[in-house]
Each structure stands twice: as C-alpha cells, then as structure tokens.
Structure 1
Amino acid sequence: MDWLERTAKLRQWTRNGTRAPHKPLLLLYALGRFQDDADGELRYSAVEEDLQRLLTEYGPPNRTSPAYPFHHLVSDGVWEVRTTRGPGSPGSGVRDLRETGAAGRLVPELRAALRREPPLLGRMARLLLDLHFPPSLHGELCEAIGLELEPTQTEQLLRVRRQRNPQMRELVLTAYEYQCAFCGYDGRIGAVPVGLEAAHVRWWAFDGPDDIDNGLCLCSLHHKLFDKGVLGIGDGHRILVSQRFVGHSPAAREHVIALAGRPLVGPQPGARPVAAAHRAWHIAQVFHGTPRPAAGTGRVPS
C-alpha cells in the first residue's frame, strides 16, 4: 500500500485556493503521538484542546471545530475511530465525540508499516508540511506538535505537484533592492545579504506562482509574521497589522505595531508590485482578525 500517495491525496474541501489544513494537522499530530506511544489512542476529549490550538494558530482565519477532521479523516483510510459503543465514528459533532468516549488512532496497517519502515514517518510528515504549509512554519509546527524529524533526512518527496523556480529568491530580492519591504532592513556580510528572504504572498503550496508579483523581500522576522497572519498588505500596497497581535515592549511597537498603514518599501521602478489577486488571497486565507488603525491617524487600512 502506498501510504505516501494516500497522504498526498487526503480528501479536502477546496474552492478557489481556500485553505483546509484540518486533516493534515490531525495526521501530523497523530504521527507525533505515534513517535511517543506507538500503541496509544487519542481520546477526543483529551486532545480536543491541543487540536483546537493547532487549528487556531495554523489554520485559516475562520474558526473550525477539531471534531470535523477527527471524524472525517476516517474516509481517507489512514485513521480509525472507536467509541464505547464499538468501532466507527459517531459523527462530526463535538457532543457526539465527547459523550461516546470517541478515541482515534492510525489504522493498524499504517501502524505496522511505520514500525516496519521507520523512515516512512518522516516522509509522510514532510509531505504534509510541504503540501499544506510554507517552509517558514515547518520547524515551529513540528515543535508545537511534538514531532521530531531527523535534520539530515533528505528523501525526495513524492508527487510534489510542480517544481519551484530556483531563481525566485534572486529575482525578488533584486526587485526590492535587497531591502525588507516592511521595514527596509538591508543587512549584509560583505557582499552577501543576511536575514533577507523571498516570501510568497499566495503560498506555493496553494498554487502561488514563482513570480515577482507574488513575492516580497522580507527580513526573517517579518517573513514569519507575514506567514502567521500578523501582517498583510492592503489597498495601495500599505501594510496591515492584525489587532490580534499584542506586544507591549518598545521593540514590538517599533518593529510591528508602528508598521500599520505604512507603504511597502519597493519594488524598484519597472518591477511588478504584488498582484491584487495574491494580496486578496493572503488577506482571506492567512491574515488574522481585523487591521489596526494606521499609526497616528485612527484610520483602518483596507
């Protein structure tokens, strides 16, 4: 049985690039728990809070119950649920899962395959990460789940839908003249830029093209905050800062909150700015909450 193919083809509700990482997050969580206890079950009432936190932090802005993937992942052939009444999920309702003592775990065939071939777990996890999340979030997501992957593991992921453009980073950094589009940071060691990265506005995992008008040159801090939905880009290519972000230190105010309403730094004349369609996708699928008013104006950027 090809477990990587099943992993790559999880049934998900998709329309116009809508993010639906509910099943991938649950499967990643289950793989992490398998590392700790290969024979253990995940009782819904015991893991509901963990799963809700993952959905809130790494899922789309709209709120979803973890009961949904706990029930529906059964249909993909990698997950099973039993209750005090016997095998089978009672449904996707939170009350049904709680009251019947529902517990889930990886199906016996997959558990056997993971015991027989330990590297399979890392391949499955990396495939889920690559297909559903940007690289800037992979490390912290594994840490949040408690999933340990060998840093030297370099297996080629199967069935990746298309090849990345290796020139994307250089094209984007050149377009923005090696400055962070949010704060203007332009650090170098000699002639080599440090702490600058090419960020996809519409994530590559969600058919975001490797084009300049889907890219931003960002420092490492602002890249992470952009991919976490703290920062966005509004009309007029002005910076959005989520009202959900809380920071009381001078550094948080200076490097994040004070950005609200500022225009982007760049790109240079002749380079295409971020396309409206990609900005709209990021606002709908990644940016959390409503924007803060522009600093000193009281006006909320749109």
Structure 2
Amino acid sequence: MDWLERIAKLRQWTKGGTRAPHKPLLLLYALGRFQEDADGGLRYTAVEQDLQQLLTEYGPPHKTTPAYPFHHLVSDGVWEVRTDRGPGSPGSGIRDLRGTGATGQLAPDLRAALRREPDLLGRIARLLLDLHFPPSLHGELCEAVGLDLEPAEAEQLPAVRRQRDRRMRQLVLTAYEYRCAFCGYDGRIGAVPVGLEAAHVRWWAFGGPDEIDNGLCLCALHHKLFDKGVLGVGYDQRILVSQRFVGHSPAAREHVTALAGRPLIGPQPGSRPPAAAHRDWHTRQVFHGEPRPATAA
C-alpha cells in the first residue's frame, strides 16, 4: 500500500479555493503523539482542546470544530475510532464523541507500516506540511503538534506531482528591489540579502502560482505575520492589519499596527503587483478578522 499516495488524496471539502486543513492537522497531531507513544490512543475529550487550538491557529478564519475530522478521517483509511460500546465512530457531533468515550488512533496497517519503515513518519509529515501549509509555518507547526523531524533530504515525494519554480525567490526579490514591501527593510551582508523572503500571496499548497503577481518580497517577520493572517493586502494595494492582533510595546506598534493603511512599497515599474484574485483568496482564507482603520500619518 502506498501510504504517501493515500495521504495525498485525503478527501476534504473544497469550494473556490477554501482551506479545510482539519484532517491534515489531526494527522500531524496523531503522528506527533505516535512518536511519543506508538500504542496510545487519543481520547476525544483529552485532546479536544489541543485540536481546537490547532484549528484556531492554523485552520480557516471561520469558526470550526475538531469533531469534524475526528469522525470523518475514518473514511480515508488512515484513522480508526472506538467508543465505550466498541469499534466505530458515533458521528461527527461533539456530544456524540464526548459522551461515548470516543478514542481515535492511526489505522492498524498504518501503525504497522510506521514501525517497519522508520523514515515513513517523517515523509508523511513533510508531505502533509507541503500540501497544506506554507514553508514559513512548518517549523512552528511541528513544535505545536510535538513532531520531531530529521532534516529532510532534497527529494520530490511521488505524491507531489507539481514542481516549485526555484526562480520564484529571485524574480520576486528583484521585482521589489530587495526591499520588504511592508516596511522597506533591505538588509545585506556584503552583497547578499539577509532576512528577505519571497512570500506567496495565494499559498502554493492551494494552487498559488510561482509568479510575480502572486508574490511579495517580505522581511522574515512580516512574512510570518502575513502567513499567520495578521497582515494582508487590500484591494487598493494597501496593507491590512488584523484587529485581532494585540501588541502594546513600541516595537509591536511600529512594526505591525502602524502599517495599517500604508501602500505597498514596490514593485518596480514593469512588474505586476499582487493580482486581485490572489489578494482576495488570502483575505478570505488566511487573514483573521476585520482590518484595523488606517493609522494617521
């Protein structure tokens, strides 16, 4: 059985590019727990709060519940649920899962494969990360679910048929003249830019192309905040700052809240700014809450 192919084909609700990473987040959490205790099950009432936090931090902006993947992941053949009454999930209702002592676990065949192939867990985890989340979030996501992964070798996983364009970073940084589009940071060590990254507006994992009009040159801080939904780009190419962001220090005000309403810096003439379709996707699927009013100059 090709577990990578099966993981790559998880059935998820999709419509108009909507993010629904419920199952991938549950699987990453289960893999982290498997590393800790290969035989332990995940009782819903014991892990519900952890799973809800993951969905809040890394899921879609709209309200959602961990009961959905806990029940529905069974149909993908990688997960099983048992209750106090025996095998089988009682349904996707929160009360059903809580009241029946529902306990989930990776499917027996998958657990056996993970024991036989020591590197399979890492390959599955990296596949889930690559297919559903931007690279800027991979490290902290692994920490959040308790995954300890060995450094990945440069490989093209067979389940990922779409190749990234390695020229993307250079094209985007050149278009923005090696300056962060949000704050103007342009640090270098000698002739080498440092702390500058090419951010996808519409995530590569969700069909975002490796093209300049889907990219922003951002410093490492603003790239992370952009992918976390703290920052966004409005229809008028001005910076959005989420009302949900809280920061009282002078640094937080200067580097985040003061950006509200500022125009993007760049790109240079002849290069395309972020396309409306990609900006709209980010605003709907990543940006959290409502934007703050523009900060007075």
Residue of structure 2 equivalent to 1:122: 122
Q: Which amino acid aligns with 1:169?
A: R
Q: Distance in 2 between matches of 1:219 and 1:161?
A: 30
**Matched residues, number:** 297
SS of 2:105 mapped into structure 1: strand
Residue of structure 2 equivalent to 1:181: 181
Residue of structure 1 equivalent to 2:261: 261
Q: Distance in 1 between matches of 2:294 and 2:156?
A: 45
C-alpha offsets along residues 59-111 of structure 1, whole Å, 9 cap, x if unaligned?
01011110000000000000000001110000000000000000000011111
TM-score by length of 1: 0.97
Residue of structure 2 equivalent to 1:45: 45
Q: Per the alignment, do residues 165 and 153 of structure 1 end up closer, same or farther by CA in structure 2, a change over 3 Å counting?
A: closer
For structure 2, the 5+ residue unaligned runs are none
Q: Distance in 2 between matches of 1:153 and 1:117?
A: 16
**RMSD, matched Cα:** 0.9
Q: Distance in 1 between matches of 2:166 and 2:116?
A: 36
Q: Which amino acid aligns with 2:222?
A: H
Q: Which amino acid aligns with 2:242?
A: S
TM-score by length of 2: 0.98
1:30 aligns with 2:33: no
State the Cα distance separating 1:152 from its structure 2 match: 4.9
Q: Distance in 1 between matches of 2:171 and 2:59?
A: 30
Q: Which amino acid aligns with 2:43?
A: R
State the Cα distance separating 1:40 from its structure 2 match: 0.2
Residue of structure 1 equivalent to 2:232: 232
Q: Distance in 2 between matches of 1:152 and 1:204?
A: 19
Alpha carbons 1:83, 1:100 under 8 Å: kept:
yes
SS of 1:82 mapped into structure 2: strand
C-alpha offsets along residues 230-284 of structure 1, whole Å, 9 cap, x if unaligned?
0000021000000110001100000000000000000011111110000000000
Residue of structure 1 equivalent to 2:15: 15
Residue of structure 2 equivalent to 1:218: 218
Q: Which runs of 4 or more aligned residues in structure 1 lie more than 2 Å from their structure 2 counterparts after TM superposition? A: 152-156
1:139 aligns with 2:139: yes
For structure 1, the 5+ residue unaligned runs are 298-302
Q: Distance in 1 between matches of 2:162 and 2:24?
A: 20
Q: Distance in 2 between matches of 1:175 and 1:5?
A: 37
Residue of structure 2 equivalent to 1:300: none
State the Cα distance separating 1:153 from its structure 2 match: 4.3
1:154-165 → structure 2 map (5 Å cutoff)? 154-165=154-165
Question: Percent same amino acid among aligned pairs?
Answer: 83
Residue of structure 1 equivalent to 2:286: 286
State the Cα distance separating 1:162 from its structure 2 match: 1.1
SS of 1:235 mapped into structure 2: coil
Alpha carbons 1:186, 1:196 under 8 Å: kept:
yes
Residue of structure 2 equivalent to 1:150: 150
Q: Which amino acid aligns with 1:47?
A: V
1:80 aligns with 2:80: yes
Q: Which amino acid aligns with 2:197?
A: E
SS of 1:104 mapped into structure 2: strand
Q: Per the alignment, do residues 152 and 281 of structure 1 end up closer, same or farther by CA in structure 2, a change over 3 Å counting?
A: closer
